[in-house]
């Protein structure tokens, strides 16, 4: 089993990263603040105006460690990596399958809807007795509707287009009751519907932040097994978009991102004080809020769950890599279908 390596997140404005021996060193105002061995890392993610030395860039490229540059708000800016050792035969199979994506799209959409349904069912189980009747009935109805859409995708939908329509319908059902799972009374921490580019409330800001981190992990997973992250199945190809990474994250984000966001809010680890409203109405995590979210993200990735297809326990942080492996095996012809990851 692949070892779960670490991702270093650098958030201190004005910090400088350099190589010292076989270590990454972070300096702030000329003082060493952190030191991490290169062999323990899979990637380095930096936020905002942070200097990265040429020596460190070269060492990371040689060691297969990606460096991801995000702006202060967590938006993707650039990615630095060494030569990509993609398997040409695997990529040819991927490109061919992208022209006839129906069965892979079916697996991805089924995994996403099943995991959305599981998140709502867990919320109903954990909080159902404390909810008023209207919210309890609303959650139960959403669970039932998602089960119906899931059966339709599995048995009736014939084309990728109809499955994309079912995926969108399921997302509307899921997010229509998302606020029922928020357990805090603060008006600024309530769910008002999905908004992005920019997010217009705290929950959307948190979701968008976690989705950015998950996209990075899924892209790295695709590249690590030799797949082209730009050529997807559910998401159509678009210049500059990592379509396959976005495909891979769909079945994972209800569990890895959505539940973590709800947990941080419901446990009051993040409150309205951890968010900032910018001109134009955009809501973003503050520096302290971002540090809290990053710590929680790293801890969540260490939690172990049973993989339903492999019947093996593994850290959640390895699931993107394992799913990329499963997809590669399917494209090579070793598996009849791509097995989605179902959370239970």
Separation between Cα atoms, residue 153 and residue 161, nearest integer Å: 11
Indicate whether 187 and 298 sit together in one domain: yes
Indicate whether 29 and 173 sit together in one domain: no
Separation between Cα atoms, residue 293 and residue 291, nearest integer Å: 5
Q: How many CB atoms lie within 10 A of CB 243?
A: 19
Indicate whether 15 and 103 sit together in one domain: no
Separation between Cα atoms, residue 153 and residue 148, nearest integer Å: 9
Asked if residue 1 belongs to a domain, the reply is no
Task: Say which CATH number the domain at 11 has.
Answer: 3.100.10.20
| Average confidence (pLDDT) over 194-222 | 89
Last residue of a domain, one of 56, 80, 104: 80
Indicate whether 211 and 263 sit together in one domain: yes
Separation between Cα atoms, residue 240 and residue 127, nearest integer Å: 41
Q: Average per-residue pLDDT in the chain?
A: 88
| Average confidence (pLDDT) over 163-189 | 91
Asked if residue 339 belongs to a domain, the reply is no
Written as one string, the DSSP assignment of 285-319 is E-HHHHHHHHHHHHHHHH-EEEETTTTEEEEGGGH
Indicate whether 235 and 311 sit together in one domain: yes
Half-sphere exposure of 299 (CA within 13 A, CB side): 9
What pLDDT is recorded for position 34? 85
What pLDDT is recorded for position 144? 95
pLDDT digits (tens, 9 = 90+) for 110-134: 999 999 999 999 988 888 777 788 8
Last residue of a domain, one of 22, 56, 80: 80
Contact (Cβ atoms closer than 8 angstroms) between residue 304 and residue 315: yes
Domain that holds residue 28: 6-80
Indicate whether 247 and 299 sit together in one domain: yes
Indicate whether 70 and 116 sit together in one domain: no
Separation between Cα atoms, residue 18 and residue 26, nearest integer Å: 7
Asked if residue 141 belongs to a domain, the reply is yes
Indicate whether 186 and 286 sit together in one domain: yes
Per-residue pLDDT band at 258 (split at 50, 70, 90)? very high
Contacts 24+ apart (CB under 8 A), 143-147: 143/117, 145/173, 146/113, 146/116, 146/117, 146/120, 146/170, 146/173, 146/174, 147/117
Task: Say which CATH number the domain at 162 has.
Answer: 1.20.120.920
Per-residue pLDDT band at 1 (split at 50, 70, 90)? very low
Asked if residue 268 belongs to a domain, the reply is yes
Asked if residue 342 belongs to a domain, the reply is no
pLDDT digits (tens, 9 = 90+) for 21-70: 999 998 888 888 888 898 888 778 887 888 899 999 999 888 888 888 87
Asked if residue 202 belongs to a domain, the reply is yes
Is residue 73 scored above 70 in pLDDT? no
Indicate whether 61 and 96 sit together in one domain: no
Indicate whether 44 and 92 sit together in one domain: no
Asked if residue 179 belongs to a domain, the reply is yes
- Quick one: three-class SS letters along 253-292? HHHHHHHHHHHHHHCCCCCHHHEEECCCCCEEECHHHHHH
Indicate whether 157 and 271 sit together in one domain: yes
Asked if residue 267 belongs to a domain, the reply is yes
Last residue of a domain, one of 16, 49, 80: 80
| Average confidence (pLDDT) over 267-282 | 88
pLDDT digits (tens, 9 = 90+) for 140-163: 999 999 999 999 999 978 899 999
Indicate whether 125 and 168 sit together in one domain: yes
What is the pTM assigned to this prediction? 0.83
Structural domains of the chain, count: 2
pLDDT digits (tens, 9 = 90+) for 93-116: 999 999 999 999 999 999 999 999
């Amino acid at each position: 089993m692949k070892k779960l390596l670490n991702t270093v997140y650098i958030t201190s404005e004005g910090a400088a990263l350099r190589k010292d021996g076989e270590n990454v060193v972070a300096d702030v105002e000329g003082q060493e603040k952190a030191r991490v061995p290169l062999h323990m890392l899979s990637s380095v993610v930096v936020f905002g105006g942070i200097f990265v030395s040429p020596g460190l860039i070269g060492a990371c490229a040689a060691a297969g460690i990606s460096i991801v540059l995000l702006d202060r708000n967590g938006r993707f800016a650039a990615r630095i990596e060494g030569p990509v050792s993609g398997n040409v035969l695997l990529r040819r199979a991927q490109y061919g399958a992208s022209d006839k994506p129906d069965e892979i799209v079916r697996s991805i959409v089924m995994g996403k809807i099943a995991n959305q349904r599981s998140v709502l069912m867990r919320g109903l189980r954990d909080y159902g007795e404390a909810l008023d009747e209207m919210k309890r009935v609303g959650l139960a109805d959403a669970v039932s509707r998602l089960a119906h859409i899931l059966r339709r995708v599995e048995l009736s939908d014939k084309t990728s287009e109809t499955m994309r329509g079912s995926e969108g319908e399921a997302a509307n059902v899921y997010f229509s009751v998302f606020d029922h799972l928020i357990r805090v009374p603060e008006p600024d921490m309530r769910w008002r519907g999905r908004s992005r580019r920019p997010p217009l409330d705290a929950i959307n800001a948190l979701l968008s932040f976690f989705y950015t981190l998950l996209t990075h992990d899924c892209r790295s997973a695709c590249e690590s097994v030799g797949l082209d992250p730009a050529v997807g199945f559910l998401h159509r190809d678009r210049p500059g978009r990592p379509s396959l990474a976005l495909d891979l994250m769909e079945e994972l984000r209800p569990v890895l991102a959505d539940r973590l966001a709800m947990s941080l809010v419901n446990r009051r680890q993040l409150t309205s004080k951890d968010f900032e409203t910018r001109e134009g109405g955009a809501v973003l995590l503050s520096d302290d809020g971002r540090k809290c979210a990053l710590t929680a993200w790293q801890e969540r990735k260490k939690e172990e769950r049973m993989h339903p297809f492999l019947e093996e326990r593994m850290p959640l942080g390895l699931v993107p890599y394992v799913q990329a492996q499963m997809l590669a095996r399917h494209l090579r012809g070793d598996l009849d279908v791509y097995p989605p990851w179902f959370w239970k």
